[in-house]
Amino acid sequence: MAGNIFGQMFRITTWGESHGRAVGVVVDGLPAGLPFSEADIQKELDRRRPGQSEVSTPRSEADRVEILSGIFEGMSTGTPISMLVWNSDARSSSYDAIKNTPRPGHADFTYMARYGIRDHRGGGRSSARETIGRVAGGALAKLLLSHYGIRIAGHVLELGGIRAKPFSFEEILENVEKTPVRCADPEAAEKMLEKVAALRQEGDSVGGIVELIVKGVPAGLGEPVFDRLDADLAKALMSIPAVKGFEIGAGFEAARMRGSEMNDPFRMEEGEITCSRNNAGGILGGISTGLDIVCRAAVKPTPSIGKVQQTVDLTTRENAEIAIKGRHDPTIPPRMVPVAEAMVALVLADHMLRSGFINPRTLLE
């Protein structure tokens, strides 16, 4: 099975299945001399951890990380960093009754079509539990980027058609963790919670939009033509389970704008070149402009729902019905925020190294 490695100079390889013994990641390319500990990784994993609120699955996992290699006396050594999280609350029997009836909206059918075999327990490798490795690797990328003044803020911009009011970067950082839906707008967050609760009672789910804002990115990141910075961000976010759309800056709204409205005029401010607006989302021609990078991911509703749905029986080759039981998130965007931040951090760390903005040896000086 290919496709488990992401990045070039800063690279992660994730491994493991939802109901296997463990999941984890190998990080390669982190420069030597970066101070870090399990606490730095755990902080991010705790944000992703299930069972924390009424808008997440009741599956109870501690998700305690173990660092197996690549660190000595509290610093990275420049060698591969292997991290592991044990699965402890898997209930595989919940999936036995539906192992031959592919769930609508899931990868059950396509994995079988591609490989001829699949782990039906919790979705196996296609489960969002795989994202633990991304978040662990992204935590190291975030630490590396912070040394260069780069910060990332993710939040739920929209959930179930309820949209948050605009907030500044600092306001998002301050307020996003104050509500289970990770929305910086308290009024919108309350409405979102009510919507999720109502749909959960109906056995249904809801999707939304996660927005990412990055401050401090220098101008000049990106490798045209096929490794454009925005193209790599799109791939990173689209690789997250349940993401069905990506936009940057004005995004799809650009299709309804005039050139005079869309273009960001250049200006001189305090001896630096900047723009008077940021419809481009911080990237032109696949290369960063130095302005904030602003992008969004559209997240579909959780496909595991209690309502009766149409499917087929793989053994009898006849039509069938399915009503999915078990423990599932009624909505995905709130728990996706740290995953999306991690993927953005991985892309930026990789391009910072590729473009020469990070010299691996300077961390030790």
Q: Is the pLDDT of residue 57 over 60?
A: no
What span, in angstroms and rounded, lies between the C-alpha atoms of 324 and 42?
Answer: 31
Q: Is 108 helix (H, G, I), strand (E, B) or coil?
A: helix
What span, in angstroms and rounded, lies between the C-alpha atoms of 83 and 61?
Answer: 16
Contact 348, 340 (CB under 8 A): no
**pLDDT tens profile 300-320:** 999 988 889 999 999 999 999
Residue with the larger pLDDT of the pair 53 and 41:
41
Specify the pLDDT at position 267: 97
- In our burial notation (b when 16+ CB lie closer than 10 A, e otherwise), range 249-261 reads bbbeebeeeeeee
Radius of gyration of the chain (CA): 21
* Strand partners for 246: 297
Q: How confident is the model at residue 99 (pLDDT cuts 50, 70, 90)?
A: confident
For each of the domains in the chain, give its residue range(s) and CATH number, in order of start: 5-364 (3.60.150.10)
Q: Is the pLDDT of residue 210 over 90?
A: yes
What span, in angstroms and rounded, lies between the C-alpha atoms of 210 and 229?
Answer: 19
